[in-house]
Structures are given as structure tokens and as C-alpha cells.
Structure 1
Amino acid sequence: MSVAFLSCRNNTTSYFDQAPPSQTPKLFAPAIVNTDSIELNVVFNATHTEMFFSRIVDNSFVIHHSELINSKWSDVKPLQMYPDSISISVACDPTITKDGNTMYFLGVDPKLYNNDTSPEKLFAIPPDIYMSKKVNGEWGLAKKVEFDISTEYLESYPVVVADGSLYFHSSRPSEKGGRNTYRAQYLGNEKFSTPTIVNVNTEGHELISYVSPDERYAITNGEGKFQITFNSNGEWSAPEEVALDYDKDWRYYCPYMSSDEKYFIFSRRYNNPSKKGWAGVEKGEVYWVNADILFNTK
């Protein structure tokens, strides 16, 4: 199915012909993005001409994609990030550079699965940050972003900002201990500076999971809820809770903003109480809501 779309320069921009949400969250693109499968992390490129999200297919996390062509959104199709020989893989949480030609995402070295296709294996291996390049209009096979972005420890939630720098989570050893948010300055030619911990002014341990392209504000996750923090000359304010009507039986994660910053997009998932981790996830959904809710905190 191809869906009509008006230019993002027009105030009547549509999102797959959906009526825009109010401050009550709505499912994003039912039957197009949200289906009976488990879906998560809808993101757009900066010019709002490509949409990406992840779906679990045959025990693999697969990035899916739709592109605006001649004012119509193309059919949603999976993007191949690994060679044909790979039977199970993880590719999720995509983030796109400002020029639209580089994608970073959470990935796991497929060779480490040793042909074990059980759901329990998903994320049992610490994930890393991977990169795919768009060449001649096609997204190519991915490669791992090497040390010291990816390490032997867990790396997740990559977010690329306007100057190409990366924010991400890592469990690498540090003075603060545990998992922390890091920022790596982009140096050009696919190189980064040594990542440094991003200190958020909080007594808790909220981790930044989204950063605006201009690094003006960020969204954190903590205790199953979203918070917003603001950047003033490199100092991040104490996170304030985003006033959503949270359902305690669901886990909320993957915060993101539409490229026009009008809508806050997030994911939630429901776990079978008797199972832990992704093996117990029975439903995964993506929602969107008017972005004003971010700035009307509790």
C-alpha cells in the first residue's frame, strides 16, 4: 500500500494520512507500523522523507523502512543489515545523521549466536553500535563501529546529533559504576573522540535515550517513566517527569521526536509476568502524542 503525503514544508504535513494526536497518546500508523507483531522505535530522517522502525520477525529484530517517493510513502519493507547467511540477528534503535546518509543502530555480532535461534538468546550477548551507509539510494550491509564506541561491554541506545556526535549507553567500567550515558564527539571520516560520561543533575540514575539534534534538551528513562532534561552551557538540568498516563503493566522506552518536533514518539511493551527479558515480551507497540506534553511536566 502506498500512502499519500504532503511536503514537510507544508503546514498540512500528514503522517501516513493519520489525524495528528492531541495530548492523549495514539497508536502510530495502525496496520502499517503497528501490527500483531512486536514493533518498536519509529524514527524519521531530518528531511522527513524516510521512516524507520524495528519489528521482531522469526526471532530477529529487523529494521523496516518506508521512503517518500513522488509524494507517496512506499510500502514498508525490511532492510538487510547482515549477510544472507545470517539466520538470526539483532538490528534495532536506528538513528540517522543529518545528511541522511549514515544510520547507527543497536546490533549484535550474528556470529556469536552459533545458530541458536531461541528467543532467550536475544540480547543475551552484549550489544554494540553498528553503522550502515546509504550509497546510490540503497542502505548497505552494516559494520560494527569499532573501539572505543563498541567494546566488550554492553552498548545501546545510539542517538546521533546534528554535528555527527553520538550519545549512547554503555556498561564499561567507570568511576560512577553501572551503566552510564556517554557522548563521543564526531571527528570526521567515521572517527570519534574518546567517549565521556554525560552527567545529568539527578540523585537517581536516569539514562539519556534521546537528544534533540541541537542538544538543547534530552529525554531520559528511569523507573519506567520518561523525564526531560535541558542543556545549559553543557550542564544538564535535573530531569522532570513527562506527564503521560503510564500503565504500570507495560514498560515504556525508545523515546524519539518527529523531525519537525511536533510529536513525541515512544514505544511500550508488555511482558508475560512469568518470563524475563525479551523472551517474555508478548506485545510491543509504538505511540505518538503532541510534543507539548514534553514541556508540561509534573
Structure 2
Amino acid sequence: MNKFLSIFLIIVTFFSCKNDTISYFDQEPPSTIPELFAPSIVNTDSIELNVVFNYDNTEMFFSRIVDNSFVIHHSELINGKWSDIKPIKMYNDDVLVSVACDPTITKDGKTMYFLGVDPKLYKNDVTREELYTIPPDIYKSKKVNGKWELASKVDFSVSTEYFETYPVVTADGSLYFRSNRPSDEGGMNTYRAQYLGNEKFETPVIVNIKAKKNELITYVSPDERYAITNGEGKFQITFNDNGEWTKPKEIPLKYESNWHYYCPYMSSDEKYFIFSRKYNNPEKRGWAGVEKGEVYWVNADILFSAKKN
């Protein structure tokens, strides 16, 4: 009996390991030197940014600029194969120019939060630069019967008349985001809104990290064990030490001048760090000057080594 039980356990372990293999568009995993993520699939001649996956790695999302609109695209893993990249329609047909970017997906895979701009606040001939002068809000889309529905704003405690950007959802459904709403600290701050259930949130509170004012959280792990900040064109990592965030340490990448690094993200198995970068024409400011946008991935050892140093 013990012999048969051992054979059975070996077989179960073998197939469990096979099923745990995560597919990243048949790419060779990166080393500690960043590589373009999915060339010709995600990275094209267009401007692309913010690749993210759902929790079980069966759906991949990213944003692409199409005719001055920021459009979320996705692909689904079906019967072991990734589907063709397709845009997700977030607004009504009469909206010709729009903003939908920086998606983040709930643990059950059924709700997406993202940065959006209210289409009622601009005309359809608005330029890319003008779009980003309008205060963005946090929107959500629900996946019903396998299809992402038109988006709506998150409740008023999160989306206000001020800037709300970089939404990140945690395992319990709570939201981290940036906002310049009035506060004692002033300026832009990182906020956390505890999820109450039934699509409602508690009043957001400021997350204090031991960092410079412009180093704000742009990614947090689902279990809130660590977070990644952006500041002065570089990434930093901070760890949650019994409720207190440690002083952020720089993530050692080869940061190139005239490139802006942003949209940090971690794969669900925490093996890979995924980030975006954009090249700005030095003579133009803002999105009007962006000439190239790329998404990279790199072995996550470069992040977690920062905790040891």
C-alpha cells in the first residue's frame, strides 16, 4: 500500500507542477537585465504602457495610445493559447477621444479599476496633452458573462473633483491611489480606501511612507507586504514592517536620460518585475512630447535584494 501511495503522490506532484506553469506569451524568462515584454504583441510602433495580469494569469491587460486615445487592450488564455490582442470598449459610441489606462484587477477577476477622464469634460477634437490637464478619476468596469462592461466612476469618496491616479487594488478589495485633494500635508499624496463590500469604500486615509514628498506609491502587493514608489524618475521599494512602511530603497535599474520610468507592476508569482518607460522629446513637455512608450520585464531578484542591503 505504501508503494502505491508513493507512486500516486509522485504523479499528483508532477501534474500539479505542470499546471502551475505560468504562460507569458511563450517568452523566455528575463534575467536581471530588463527586456522588452512580448515584442510585436504588446510592444509595437505605438505607445504602450502598464502591462498587468489578473490573479490567475489567464488575462493580460495593457494600454495603447490609438488616435490620441488611451485605450485598454487585453488578451485571454484559452485552452493554453493567448487570444489576439483586442481593445476593451469603456465608453459610449459617441466618445471618439478618451482616456482609459493603468488597469488593476480584483482577486476574483470580475472588476477592473482604472484611470479615466470624464468624457463630458472635453470635446472630441481634444489633443493628447489637453486630455491630461483635465482632473482624472478612478473608474471601474465589471466583467459579466465573459465581457467587460462600459465603465462608471467609483463612488464619491474615491473619485472627487481633484486628481485621482494610479489605482491599485489589494486582495481584500481595498484601493490605493494618488490624489491632490486638500489635506494637512498638501500636494499629492498616496491614499488607501478600505473596501467595505457592495462596491463601497471607507473614507480614504493618507499612507505615510518615510520618503521624499514626490516618492509616492504606484504599486502595492496584494497582501500589502511591500510597495513600489516612483520619485525623481526612478523606482524605490518599501516594505511593510508591522504596519510601518520602511524607508524606500532604490531599485537598481539602468535608468536612461530623457526616459521616464513609471507604471511598476509585479507578476502574480512575484518572479518578475514589469514596468513602463516613455521617451520625451526634450523640447516638449507632457504627453504631447512622448515619442516612444515601451513595457519591460526583469527578474524580480533585483527588487527583493534591496531588503537585504
Aligned position for 1:257 = 266
Structure 1 equivalent of residue 183 of structure 2: 174
Q: Please say if 1:72 is aligned against 2:88.
A: no
Query: Per-residue deviation at 1:116?
Result: 2.7
Aligned match for 1:245, one of 245, 254, 258 = 254
Q: TM-score, normalised by structure 1?
A: 0.95
The C-alpha deviation readout for 1:143-191, integer Å capped at 9, x for no partner, is 0112110011000000000000000000001111110000000000000
Q: SS state of the match for residue 284, structure 1?
A: strand
- What is the deviation of 1:118? 1.8
Distance verdict in 2 for CA 1:211–1:122, change over 3 Å: same
- Give the structure 2 partner of residue 58 of structure 1: 67
- Say if 1:195 and 1:224 are closer, same or farther in 2 by CA, change over 3 A: same
Distance 2:65 2:212 in 1: 35
Say if 1:173 and 1:42 are closer, same or farther in 2 by CA, change over 3 A.
same
- Displacement, 1:222? 0.6
2:158 to 149, 157, 171: 149
Alignment equivalent of 1:279, drawn from 282, 288, 293:
288
Which of 270, 273, 291 is the equivalent residue of 2:300?
Answer: 291
**d(CA) in 1 for partners of 2:23, 2:78:** 14
CA contact 1:54–1:93 (8 Å) conserved in 2? yes
Amino acid at match of 2:67: D
CA separation of 1:8 and 1:93: change in aligned 2, threshold 3 A = farther
Give 1 or 2: higher helix fraction: 2
TM-score, length-scaled by structure 2: 0.92
Shift of 1:27: 0.1
How far 1:117 moved relative to its partner? 2.9
Q: Could you say what the CA RMSD is over the residues aligned between the two structures, in angstroms?
A: 1.5
Report the Cα distance in structure 2 between the residues aligned to 1:119 and 1:251, rounded to whole angstroms.
17
User: What is the identity percentage for the equivalent residue pairs of Structure 1 and Structure 2?
Assistant: 76
Larger gyration radius, structure 1 or structure 2:
2
CA distance in 2, matches of 1:292, 1:248: 24
1:8-58 CA-partner distances (Å, limit 9, x unpaired): 964643310110000000000000000000000000000000000000000
- Structure 1 unaligned residues grouped into runs of 5+: 1-6
| CA shift digits 1:180-237 (9 cap, x unpaired) | 0000000000000000000001244310000000000000001100000001222100
**Unaligned regions of 5+ residues in structure 2, if any?**
1-15
Structure 1, 38-47 or 225-234: larger mean CA deviation: 225-234
Q: Indicate if the aligned counterparts of 2:258 and 2:282 stay in contact, CA closer than 8 A.
A: no
